[in-house]
Structure formats: C-alpha cells, structure tokens
Amino acid sequence: MAGWKTKTVNEVVSKIRAGKFVLPVIQRRLVWREDAMTKLFDTLLKEHSFGAIIVLKEEAGRLPLFEAREFTDDGEPRKSHPQTNLLEDEQFFVIDGQQRLQTFYIGLCGSFVGKQLYFDLYSDFQRAEFDFKFALPARRRASVNRERAERPIAEAEIQTVGECLWYPVGDLYEKLSLLGGNVRKIVDEIIREENVDADNKREHIRENIARFNRNIFDLENIGISEVNIDSTTDPIENRQRMVELFRRLNSEGTRLNALDLVASRLKGFDNRMEDFLDRIVRENVDIRLTQDEAIKLIMTLQDKPLASVSDLDIDGEKFAGFALDNADKIRATLANVRDFLRRTRDYGWFALSSARSPVPLYLLAYRFHHDESRRDFGQMRRWLRLSLLNGIFRRGCGWTPSERGLKLLHDVLKNSRGKNFPTEELFDVCKKNLHAFRTDITAANLDDLSRDYVFYLMYDAADFSSPVHIQPRSRLTPSLCKRCGISEAMIDSVANLHLLNRDDSVDKGERRLRDWIARTDQSYLTRHLIPADENLWKPGNFKKFLAARAQMIADKICDSMRLGDD
C-alpha cells in the first residue's frame, strides 16, 4: 500500500544528507551525465513537473529488506553496507527516482567528476530559460551567451544580458540555507562582490536568485510515494516484489537493459551479490569485463548461457547461491583465462579495445571452470585464433554470436567435459552454421579473414595506428593497372597494407616504396613483413610483390598457431 506526500527539494536533500533517504542494493549506479543533470535544474526553475519519487518505507525497530548505500556527492559509486542491526529510526529506500535525487544532491551539495554546478545569474528569466553547467572553478567565468545577446526585446521587457555570471550552485544553496532565504541580502552581497552597476543586470540577479530560492526551499515540487510492506511475509518474497516493482517502474525513463534487471533481481535474492559482482568487475577491468558480462559468464558456467530475467523467477536464488558458493573458484577461473591469454599472446586483443566480443571469454572460462586439470593450451589456442580469424564472434557471420553462437559452442563444450578440448567439434559447428569458416590459412585467402585480427597477429600485438598502402595508389597508374591486370581489390588487399603511426603515415605520403624504404632501417622490412627482393618494390612487379608478402603473412599466422605451450 502506498501513501503520497509532497516535499521541497531542500527537505529531500536534507534527508539524503542525514542518511534518511538511501539507495537499496538493487539500484544501479548513477548513469546520468552532465547534460541530463543541468536540464533537470532548468526544469525545476521552470516549475515544470518531473515525475514522482517512489520509496520503500522501513519502520524503526525492524531489519530492512535490503542492504543500502549512501547517495554519492561526487559521482563516484558508494559501497552498500550490510544491514545487521534493527533500524533506530525510519528509513526510505529509493526504488524509483534515483537519478533525479542524485542530481539534486550533487548539484546542491557536491561535485561531478571534479566539477561543480554553476548557475548563470544573468539567465533570461523572462523567457524561463535557466542556464546551468558543470565546470572547474577556475574555468567558470568570461563567457558570453550570443543567442541571448542578439535576442530582440519587447518594449515592456527588461534588457537581456549577453554576458554570463556563473555562480556556484552549492555556495548559493548554503547561503540561502544559513540566511533563511534572505534573498535581498544575498543579492546585495553578490552585486557588491561582482561590481554590478547596470540596472538590468541587477534585476536579472535578483529575479534568478528569487526563482532559485522559491523552487528549492518554498515550493513542494517533489511528490513522494511511500510503499509499505507486510512484515509477516517471507523476506525473500518481499524483496522480489520490490525488485518487480523496480523493474516495472524502470520500463520508462532511463531504461535498464535486461542484464541490469538480472543484476537487480540477483541482489534481491542475496545482498552479497553486489560486492561479488563489483569485485569480479574490478579484478578484470583489464580484459574489459563489465557487470553485464560477469553475469553472462556466470550464467554460462551454470549451463544457462541464454538465461533471462523470467528464468530467475524460478531459480534465481539457486543462481545467486551458485555464484556466492563458488566465488573463489570463479575468480580463479578468470585468473586462468587471463593467464591463458597472456601465454598465447592474445591478452592485448581483449585489453586494447572495449569493442571485442566477450563470448570467447565465456567459453574459455567454462572450460577452465569445469576442466581444471585438462589444460590443452595448444588446441585451445588454435581454436581461439582460427575463430577470431574467421570472425565468428562478429555480427554478419551467419549467427548472432551472443545468442545462437554462444549456445551452440557451449553445447559442444558441455558435452566434452572431462575429455580433450573439442577443437574439431567446435570447428564443425562453425562450418555447418556460418557463411564461411576456414581452418587452412593460405596466401590466397587472407582477405577473407578478419582484417583487424590479421594485423594483430602480424604485428605481435603491437599497437600501431592505421592501415596505410605500402605501394601508393598514385604509383599504380590506370595504364599500369590495365597492362598488368591489377584490380582495385589487389591495391586494397591486406598484402598491400601495413600499420604506421600518425607521423610515419604523414611522412610516407605518396612516396615510392623504394624511396620510403631508403629512409628507414633494416628493421622496417622485418617489422612489416616486406619482401627483401628490391625488384619486387617496383610498381611493375606489384602482383609478384603481393604474392610474396601474402605468403610471408600466411606463414607468420600459421606459425603462431603451432601446437605446444609457449
């Protein structure tokens, strides 16, 4: 049952400061960015509606349903605290409206990534356009609002001000609090501090501060719905009811994705899940593991790679129990995955970019988790590298990698537990379900492979900038191409591309290959797999150059997949 109350922004912020309003463990972190926060303050001063706040009211003398964490005053996440003692006073757990309340608290009492919120006291109050921004203190001044400066003014209006007078919102809030809303005194103080002498500027300062004071301290702008629970009902059932309410409320506004909802539901079954997931993410940030991916990985370890929110209605408690009972083993599993990637020299592939698919990490983790004693490094490396070369974890390959692809590959690993790593069986699944899959890497099929991963293997994971033509297009004239049978595809093939940093790329420009090589040392040929035969550097021998370099690339890739453990 719910009851409605209205509060001023100041009353709610004061309750946040006092720890009366807290965030339940099922809540996600702050996701709003600066633009959304500043728009909320503009909406507040416009006196527009911005939705209700839903809270779970916990009475004094009871053990609350959820662990709680304080609101952040600097944008950094706070850790939830175990609730082992009975509440000494009533407490309100925010189920919906966290982003809005966090914004008010940060704007009035704190900072966001080191920046404070500022209010332009010359905002055009006549048109209800109130300008806010986050900035470092040293960078708040000396700006002009050109649109406002050029705005035509009606005869009865006060002349707008093109300049900006950015004033710290936190300072304004504290002064109004201490002086009991004495707007006149604060206005006079600011006018004196800023040496404001123009009447229109003084009027803007006065009206904007009055508007700020009214909407923060006087008007009850925030509607709060207090939800009560039946204390005689089983706590787990009550927690899941709150999670379901949380899910329904968050189907609008800043929506949660499916795995956000899974995380909330898991934390509803056991409060310790938040600490566990945070620790997993923190320990594996180097391989770009997020909370979503940690949950998906744990689902895969339990042979439920495609589990959904609805599945947790049935066995969510079991899922959370598995994760917590096997917490140390899961952490060790991920450590083994990282060690494997380092030893196979694929660590950089995942560490250098957040755009890599996490699906191979799930599958490697499954193998290490369920077959600790069987570490077929050579076969696992061959599977991983050929899979990445064939792009089986990328969209457009013939299946959705995180759905059908994950399920089919997981099924093979599941049926091979306790046996040698099923390299060929995994390849067979790919051959049957994908547009193309090759296990033989030759000079002729390099351009059918994942170009990014080909470069990764060519350069031993070194992080160069961008691909540049070795033999410049301008040197391969239309007449030469026609005479020698050189196609556009040949010019843009992997065999005619190498990776250079920005400076070298500019320096090379359209130079002839021979001239460019003359400016480098011998290591250039080795590093970029350039044939040493100078006759091949001539534009007229371009096709022979391509064939020779393609063979060098194919040889290096094949050598990188030789069996055995480095």
Whether residues 432 and 463 fall in one domain: no
Round to whole Å and give the CA distance between 521 and 6. Answer: 75
**pLDDT tens by residue, 101-149:** 999 999 999 999 999 999 999 999 999 999 999 998 765 555 777 777 7
Whether residues 461 and 483 fall in one domain: yes
Whether residues 479 and 423 fall in one domain: no
Amino acid present at 369? H
Sign of CA dihedral 441, 443, 446, 452: positive
Positions in the chain short of pLDDT 70: 1-3, 138-142, 150, 155, 232, 234-236, 239, 243-244, 246-265, 267-269, 307-316, 372-374, 462-464, 563-566
Whether residues 413 and 479 fall in one domain: no
Round to whole Å and give the CA distance between 17 and 349. Answer: 45
Round to whole Å and give the CA distance between 453 and 36. Answer: 38
Cβ contact 411:395 at 8 Å: no
List phi, psi (to 5°) of 21: -100, 125
* Residue after which a domain boundary falls, among 439, 474, 503: 439
Classify strands 497-500 and 466-469 as parallel, antiparallel or unpaired. antiparallel
Per DSSP, what are the bridge partners of residue 133?
118
Cβ contact 545:537 at 8 Å: yes
- What is the residue range of 87's domain? 2-223
Whether residues 397 and 527 fall in one domain: no
Burial of 249 (0-12, 13-18, 19+ CB in 10 A): middle
Whether residues 200 and 291 fall in one domain: no
pTM beyond 0.95: the answer is: no
Whether residues 532 and 423 fall in one domain: no
**In Å, how far are 410, 430, 450, 482 from 321, measured between CA atoms?**
22, 34, 40, 68
Question: Quick one: pLDDT at residue 466?
Answer: 80
Question: Quick one: pLDDT at residue 1?
Answer: 46
Round to whole Å and give the CA distance between 160 and 200. Answer: 7
> In angstroms, how far is CA 331 from the centroid of its own chain?
22
Question: Quick one: pLDDT at residue 231?
Answer: 72
Question: Quick one: pLDDT at residue 209?
Answer: 96
DSSP letter (8 states) at residue 356? S
With helix as H, strand as E and coil as C, how does 96-135 read? ECHHHHHHHHHHHHCCECCEEEEEECCCEHHHCECCEEEE
Give the DSSP letter string of 1-46.
-EEEEEE-HHHHHHHHHTTSEEEETTS------HHHHHHHHHHHHH
Helices (H) and strands (E) in the chain, counts: 25, 11
Whether residues 215 and 278 fall in one domain: no
Q: How many domains does the chain have?
A: 3
Whether residues 164 and 278 fall in one domain: no
Residue given tokens 């009850």 in the structure block:
220
Beta carbons within 8 Å of 109's beta carbon, 6+ residues apart: 13, 17, 73, 170, 173
Nearest to 247 by CA among 238, 230, 233, 260: 260
Cβ contact 397:448 at 8 Å: no
* Six-digit token string for 404: 């059908």
Round to whole Å and give the CA distance between 105 and 562. Answer: 58
Round to whole Å and give the CA distance between 80 and 478. Answer: 68
Question: Quick one: pLDDT at residue 452?
Answer: 92
Quick check: is 234 in a domain? no
DSSP letter (8 states) at residue 95? E
Nearest to 52 by CA among 177, 227, 195, 304: 227
Whether residues 550 and 427 fall in one domain: no
Question: Quick one: pLDDT at residue 320?
Answer: 83
Whether residues 117 and 207 fall in one domain: yes
Quick check: is 237 in a domain? no
Question: Quick one: pLDDT at residue 454?
Answer: 95
With helix as H, strand as E and coil as C, how does 399-467 read? CCHHHHHHHHHHHHHHCCCCCCCCHHHHHHHHHHHCCCCCCCCCHHHHHHCCHHHHHHHHCCCCCCCEE
Question: Quick one: pLDDT at residue 62?
Answer: 87
> In angstroms, how far is CA 213 from the centroid of its own chain?
37
**In Å, how far are 91, 229, 268, 416 from 235, measured between CA atoms?**
17, 10, 10, 41
Quick check: is 485 in a domain? yes
Classify strands 222-227 and 166-168 as parallel, antiparallel or unpaired. unpaired
Quick check: is 420 in a domain? yes
Question: Quick one: pLDDT at residue 258?
Answer: 54
* Six-digit token string for 44: 């507040």
* Residue after which a domain boundary falls, among 390, 422, 439: 439
Whether residues 403 and 474 fall in one domain: no
Quick check: is 408 in a domain? yes
